[in-house]
Structure formats: C-alpha cells, structure tokens
A and B are shown apart, each in its own frame.
Chain A
Amino acid sequence: MADSRFEDGVYKYFTAMISGSILVIIVAIIALLVYAGYPSLVVNGFHFFTSSVWRPNPPNAKIITINGIDSLSGSSYGVLVFAADTLVSSAIALVLAIPASLGIAIFLTQVAPQRLAAPISFTLELLAGIPSVIYGFWGFVILSPFLFQVMEPYLAQHFAFIPFLAPPVQSAGLLAAGLLLAIMVVPIIASISRDFMARTPVELKDGAKALGLTKWEVTRKIVLPYAKTGIIGSMILGLGRALGETMAVAMVSGTGVQTLPTSLYFSVNTIASFMALSLGNAVSDPTGMLQAALMELAIVLLVITITVNVIARIVIKQVFASSENIVRV
C-alpha cells in the first residue's frame, strides 16, 4: 500500500516537473529577448516608440558610443510605421472576416441541414490547417496581381472620393494583406463561434420556436446572446493570429516603402513580416545595434500578442474545445 502511494507520488511530481518546462520556456523567451534587445532599449529609449524612421545604415556613419554601447551615428530606429501597418492590416482583416465568419457559423448551425453542415465544417477545419505560406504564395501569384492590375485602378478611378481609396495606386499593399489575412482568420473565427453556437441548449431554441419565432429571431435572441462570449473570444483569437502572421503578409507586402499608410494601396511592413525579412541584414551593422533593435521589435510583437491572447483566454476560459479542434492561433 505504502509502495503504491509512493509510486503515485513519484508519478505526480515527475509529470508536474515536466509540465513546468513550458513555464521555463516562456521565461527563457522573455529573458533572452530582453537581454539581446537591451542595447536598443537603452540607446533608443522612447525614440523607438515615437519615431517612424527606420534607418539602420545611414551613409558615412561613424561608430559612436552612448552609455557605453556602440551604435552608428545618424541611425534611427522607430517602430511606428510597423506598428501602424500591423494594426491597420489586422483591422481590415477583422472588418472583412467577422461578418463572413458569423454568417458561416450561423449558416452551419441554424440554416444548413446536418447533411450539408458536417462536410462544410470539416472543410473549414481542413482549411484552417493549411500552412500560412501557401496562402501567402497564392496571394503573391494570384491575389496581388489581380488587385494591383485590375481591382485597385478601378477603385482609385471610380471611388476616389471615399477616404483611403484615392490614387495613386503604388502596390497591392494594405488591401491585399488585409484580404489575405481575412481569408486566413475566417476558418478560425467561424469554427470556434460555430462550436459555441452549437452548444445552445435545445430546450431554449425549441421554446422560442414554439412561441412562433422565425429562425433568424431564434438566432438573434437566443443563440447569439448565449454564444456571445465564445464569439468575442474567437474574434480576439483571430486578431492575435492576424497580428502575428508573418509569411503571408511578407509575400504580398510590396516593395517596402516605409511611410505611414494614408491609403489602401500603400505597401505594408507589419512587425512580423519586417522581422522575417530583416534579420539577414543584421550583419551589415558592425555595432550589433540593428540586431538589438530587431529583438526589441520582437519584444513589442510579443507584448502585443500576449496581451491579446490573455484577453482571449479570460473571455473564453477554454481556448481549445477538443483535440480535434486545434487551429494555429
């Protein structure tokens, strides 16, 4: 008896220790990034968050020393353009994706017969599992050329009076990134909201139907309020995904003109896509300041996405509904 209790105890503490590795990993991630980004944190300070100029390698730069840390004279590191592009492209994605996803979720749970809903749900989950780089490649070879050559000139010509649609058309840009991100987050938002909507107790729905409510009224007055937290949570998760998406945005981002966007045709450099494209240049800076600044960018992105995910986790207690329903968020 004592033996078995001992065995159980060992089992418990051994597995508890193993599960703690995830805590070690997250602490290591934060510590490493702060350590590697420290020179940039010290030298760039608040300038990093208020400047929109990212100029790591100015011509004729000399190495100067500030607070004992080397950097290049005249270099400037500002996150504003990247932060703005990240937020705007994700916002466009959500504006497009939320109505579509809710439409799909309502269609699957309220409108479609079971025979139709099951295969469509399955397809959606399958699509959530397709690598983001595939979406990016599709954006690169199909979506961007279409937008740049057909759609955007048309919009700029006929809808120039609408803000953000005025010419000149410079690149597929923000619109392409927003559309592509929307296509990528729809399966996430739709499948999670569908799960929550499907959990509405059938008694409530039957009662409402018995009172003569139409399907839409049942949806609006019973199902949507019941699934509210899940739907909001799924939107936040979709936002998190859009904010951190790297390759898909990098592949449609256009030719990196780094200015604050004033129309939908501006090229995009989100924090994540810029990070993916830039680490290779870090060796060009002999002082290592560029690498440190990129690490600070990583910290900014990490803080943003962790905040978003913590909020999502607080809203919906359980992010993953079952083992069959995991999506890369």
Chain B
Amino acid sequence: MNLSTADDETESIAIEDRERIPSWQDPRVISSYKRRRVEDFVIKILTTTSLVLVLYPLADILYRFAYRGLQSISLPALTQVARDGGLASNIAGTFLVAGLSTVIAVPIGVLGGIYLAEFSGRSRYAELVRFVSDVMAGVPSIVLGYVGFLLFVLYFGWGLSALAGGVTLAFLMLPYILRTTELSIRKVPLSIREAAAALGSTKAQLVNRLTFKLALPGILTGILLSISIAMGETAPLLWTAGTSQSYPCGLIGCPGGVGYLTRIFYDFLLNPNPTAEVQNLAYLSAFLLMSFAIGINIVARFGLRRISKI
C-alpha cells in the first residue's frame, strides 16, 4: 500500500516539475544561457591571465640568469678556486657535500622504502614511519641546519666540514627517497606479484628479482630529484659546511670547512658593496645551480619515464 502511494507522489511531482521547466525558447532561458556563456568565457580569460601572470616572473628569472650567467661564464671563473676569484672550489664543494648526503641517504631511504612497500602490511609502525617522514619533509631547512650545527659541529666536534654539511643534507633528502621508493614499488602491478607467488618464489626473491628492478626507474627519479633539492639548498649548510676559499681537503678538519655554490649568495647578501667580479660570480653560480636543477629534473622526469616498463 505504502509503496504505491509513494510512487503516485513521485509521479505527480515529476509531472508538476516538467510543467515548471521552461522551454528553451523561453526568453528567460535564452538570457540565462547567454549569461552562462559569458561567465564561461570570462573564466577562461581569467585562468589564462593567471597563468601568464605567474609565468612572466618565472620566465624573467630563467631568461635573466641564463643571459647574465652565459655572459659572465669564462674559463678562469670555472677553473680557479675562490681565493683567486673563481668558482671551482665552490663547485667541488657542492658536489662533495651533495655526493656525501646521497651516499648516506640513498641506502637508508631505499631499504626503508622497500620495507614500507613490501613488508609493512597494515602495521601501526609503518603508518608512523610514513607519517613522520611526510612531516619531516616539511621541516624548514634552516631548522635542520641548526640541528646539524648543534649535533655535528659542536657535540661531535667535526667543526665546519663537508661531513657535517653532508649528513645534515642527508636528513633533508631521506624523507623524499623513502616515500618515493615506496610509491614506485607499490606501482608494480599485482599480476606480477601473483605470478611470482604462483611459481613459488619467496618474498625476498620477489623483491630482489622483480619488484625492485621494475620499480628502479621510479626510485631513481626520486633519488635524482632529491639530489637536485640537496644541491640547491643553502640554509642547512650555512652553519655546518663553512666558507673555505680553496678546494676541500677532506671530509673533516679543513680550515674554514668547505665552500659551496649557494654560499655565494649569502656572502653577496652580507656584502654591502659587491664589486663587478663578485656580481659576475653570483650570476654565474645562479646559472650553474639553475642548469643543474633543470638538467636533473629533465633527466629524471623524461629520461627515466622512457625506460620504465611499468
């Protein structure tokens, strides 16, 4: 009984509705359609404008530093150490520090990522690790710099050194490598895991011979991008790496620590009257940093996507 009355009601409402809906020739409909078309067009213009507004300063940054950087590029600037007015020692320092942090962060991050992707299941512990690493990714780099200063420079007594800077940067890279490794391994299709299980492979065999290899391009992408982040960082190194004017002599114990590319800007900032040479070096180092970042990004996003089988 109830059902049939309900049906009747719906039907009657539907009929009333149909009567209320104006036909498309109704002037109200035509004017509202015009208004909606205009609205749509305005939004199209606005979104395009916002893109242009944002791309303009970004294009200005790219153009200006490429132009001024290429202008100030010269063999002495690239081959002489900072004491003689070149960038060679800073370039060497940047690669040394970034290399050290990569060597430290990659094994920890990749093994940890394998755990999160393959062995963790739904454990509370893994959820905590994920949560903490996502939060760690948002810790400001200057805070990491202060921690590196306290722990490595003061308490461990390494002083301003490549090692102190490298380990501090490793803290910065670790969360990215951890999470991107996990995500890349998780992307491996279930069918591959099922096939391996059907053939009787152990979990260790599955991980080592299949999922890790298939996920490798993705893992490398994450590693490369985090290296690019590390190379461009300044704040974690300010109070850990130092300001040496010559080539790094070793991991610790060099007088003045190690100089690096981004340091140029900090000194530039503190220098009230930079000379033309100092300005040229700053532009050149901006150009180099930009090229490293863009080069690594292109290799990571384009090159590795090509060779990925999944």
Contact = CB atoms under 8 A, between A and B. Distances in A.
Contacts of B147: 28-29, 32-33, 298
Is chain B's interface secondary structure helix, strand, loop, or mixed overall?
Answer: helix
Interface in A20-38: 20-23, 25-26, 28-29, 32-33, 36
A183 B58 CA distance: 8
A29 B139 contact: yes
A129 B228 contact: yes
Interface in B97-112: 107-108, 111-112
Interface residues of A, number: 94
A36 B154 CA distance: 11
B289 to A, nearest CB: 5
B183 A16 contact: no
B51 A120 contact: yes
Contacts of A91: none
Given A8-B203, A142-B64, A134 B112 contact: no
Contact of A272 (B107, B142, B175, B290): B142
Contacts, number: 295
Contact of B139 (A129, A217, A305, A324): A305
A308 to B, nearest CB: 7
B47 A103 contact: yes
A32 B65 contact: no
Interface residues of B, number: 104
B178 interface: yes
A240 B269 contact: no
Interface of A: 4-5, 7-8, 11-12, 14-16, 18-23, 25-26, 28-29, 32-33, 36, 99-104, 106-107, 110-111, 120, 122-123, 125-127, 129-138, 140, 142-143, 183, 186, 190, 214-217, 219, 237, 240-241, 243-247, 250-251, 272, 275-276, 279-280, 294-295, 298, 301-302, 305-306, 308-310, 312-313, 319-320, 322-324, 326, 328-329
13 contacts: A19-B112, A19-B116, A26-B136, A28-B147, A33-B147, A111-B44, A127-B58, A140-B269, A217-B40, A240-B138, A244-B138, A251-B269, A295-B150
